[in-house]
Structure 1
Amino acid sequence: MLDPLRLEAAQELFAERIEQIPLLKKRAQEAGIDRIETFSDLVPLLFAHTVYKSYPKSLFDKGRWTQLLKWMQSLAVSDLSNVDVEGVADVDEFVERLWQAGHAVLTTSGSSGKVSFLVHTMGDRALKTRHIKHTQAWPFLEPGPGRTIFWFGPMRGRNSAVELAITNEQNWGAEGETRALDERPLLISEVSKSAAMQQRLAEGVATPDEIAEFEAEQKAKGRASRQELAALIDELLDRRHEPLLIYSGWAQQLMVRDRARERGIEPGDFHPDTVLMAAGGVKGLALPDDYRDQVYAFYGPKIAKLGVYGMTEMAQLMPRCEAGRYHVPPGLILLLLDQAGERLLGKEDEVDGKLTGRVGFLDLLYEGRWGGLITGDQATLDMSDQCACGRSGPSLLDTVARYTQLGVDDHIGCAGTIDAYVRAGLSE
């Protein structure tokens, strides 16, 4: 059984991190937790998924980089005092200064108006790359170089999605044979500017001149993006008889299928060593109910169709088996919680041998920060001793959805408490 070993590892990690991460220490003291003896002991120590963007937005908007660095330090293991923020012009330069000082900080997209800042060590990056190499293609094939990569996104920038692109290039790619949708760097400042304008439009405070300029910019970007996407799809189809690795969203894959039909290309007309990684949310997209089946039918039965469950804050992804279930790697502690994220679900909560609740986890890999998180996802865990694929242990059903997609309040009980910790820490 892995559970006793996981608890032992969790206690060892907790004993070290509580002395290194101020927010974790504060949370443990308030919850009265001084030792991890059961998985329930972990629940009060999990951070809400919003914690990595819990800084006051004014720090970001007004360029108060010293204060933003102080906030970041409350969540980081490494000493960030060697970061020089003198003369920083914008958030992209702020992140570059962190990297120059040896701190591998990654951001999320910031489409909501605030980005998450995730502190990694260089060791974290190496471990994540190794883990993904041996997990992402399990149990279908071993990764190896030599494929042309078609990546339907940017390949440059200090962003978590870009990091995954680079990792896949290292694990699968042929030298000089990566094709990305956007060769420009993904700049946080540009995404944040767009999100801020969307907010001004929603609030009705944008001026006519601002609206006209914004709409013109969006139209120009839209035209360029459509042209770049069409060119990438045609090149992919031109090279379909070579071994490829294709990574994109589901909607983009339906566009590939539709373009192939226009060109008279038959379904399944791809090199058998091609690997498909279609992923991403579909919120707000008008896709058919069977969009996955349509994509898989287009590529045919011979090529590997890989899938993982994970998120930006999780280093150890959960690979999908032949039965369509996600399996938990040994170094990840998966916890199913009640909707508020305050209680670990147990035997009494099972329905037909399954638990449905909010996903929480402790990722034991991270050196740079505490890997405990309460997510915004609802999932169902089959508690059977054996998966339908024949492997032992509980498995996660392929029915994961965000609470916001389900029309359910995404309120997490500890989120307000942690925000209070942050405000108090910044005022000291």
Structure 2
Amino acid sequence: MTLSIGEIYQHFTTSNGVTTDTRNLQEGNMYFALKGSNFNGNSFTEKALNQGAAFAVVDDADFVLNERCILVEDTLTALQSLATYHRRQLKNVKVLGLTGSNGKTTTKELIASVAATTLNTYATKGNLNNHIGVPVTLLNMPANTQFAVIEMGANHPGEIAQLCEIAQPNMALITNIGKAHLEGFGNIGGVMKAKGELFDYIDGLNGQVFLNMEDIRVAKLGYFFKNAIDYGTKSWYRVHAQITQSVPALSLVWYASQNHHRRHGTVTPTTVNTQLVGNYNFTNVLAAIALGIHLNVPPEQIVTAIEQYCPTNNRSEIRKIGTNTYILDAYNANPTSMEAAIRSFAAQNHPNKWLVLGDMFELGDQAKTEHSNIIQLLRELKLKNVVLVGNEFGKAKGKFLCEHFTSAVDAAQWMKTAPLLNNALILLKGSRGMHLETIITS
């Protein structure tokens, strides 16, 4: 006999969170035996119980080993339904749904850092931002959470809408809309429509929206939200700022209206000196400031939180190795983020700059065009000392003067002996699957 979600929830309340992976299972967890194309979580049920799982949720009767095993029709559906049920019990938690083509994780971390100065804050761990990660995030949220940042990723239409039904955000922020996951969305219009599913959900709740007015597509999606908190460079936005320094790291002076209504009230200038590389982080920082203002975080605490944040995990991460300085921005890449990174790097005032660019994935039939566009950008900016990695760039480079390798391993071997790579500033930018970090770690 299978249990209802309400009955499973009673067991969940006696556990200390959930996991779908025995490799990171903690004693007292509720284990969900998910299935994939190359694995069957049911087969790890005994291992989970032996490691101290309080319960194991399975969808195969053959793996109901004892009274700690809960049989359901489908473990993924059960996980999502349990998370939805749990979220409904958290009536006083402010939940920000956050999506976008670029900068989601950096923006999430900045916002969480700012909010945590005054509120018990919980944010998506790592990249747990899909149909599995969002439910896991909600179910692992501490009971005393006052504010949560739930990152939502998608590569097909309808996924953001589904995640909204699970997470039930009452606030929303879209970082930007660019050429990401074109293989699943078809074109930039498809990306815009998919990301807009978050605003559609919030509109039905009359919730709070934060608008990046520097992105024309985001601004268009949020045009009809009368109480939106907008941010950008124009002086009439609720939060506005100007860049005062771009290199070596981003600094800006920002102004925020003290009145909730966007174009009224006193504005006070405040300076923040970040540890973030690249002008493309400008709106990510502004998003965190806007959330901080909305959550009544004092300006000085907003500044401290942002200035103390240091990027990690291959996201605009600065690494000094020997005489060289690396900007490791190789967690992900798409045409929009690649162009922004290249333009920002071109503005760096350094006598020995090198670009190492890896293929961009999930572009479908746009791959050839978009890689060719990047080559054209390199020509226009007259950038030298370029190393291209991957088959797509190999096909697109034509007669462009550069070094080319099919893999990061091959590029790393060449770079070890390249005579000009001393006292250099080196940007590593490419999709995660290109493993450009190998160039540093090998």
TM-score by shorter chain over 0.5 = no
TM-score (norm 2): 0.26
TM-score (norm 1): 0.27
Structure ranking higher on relative contact order (CA contacts 8 Å, 6+ apart): 1
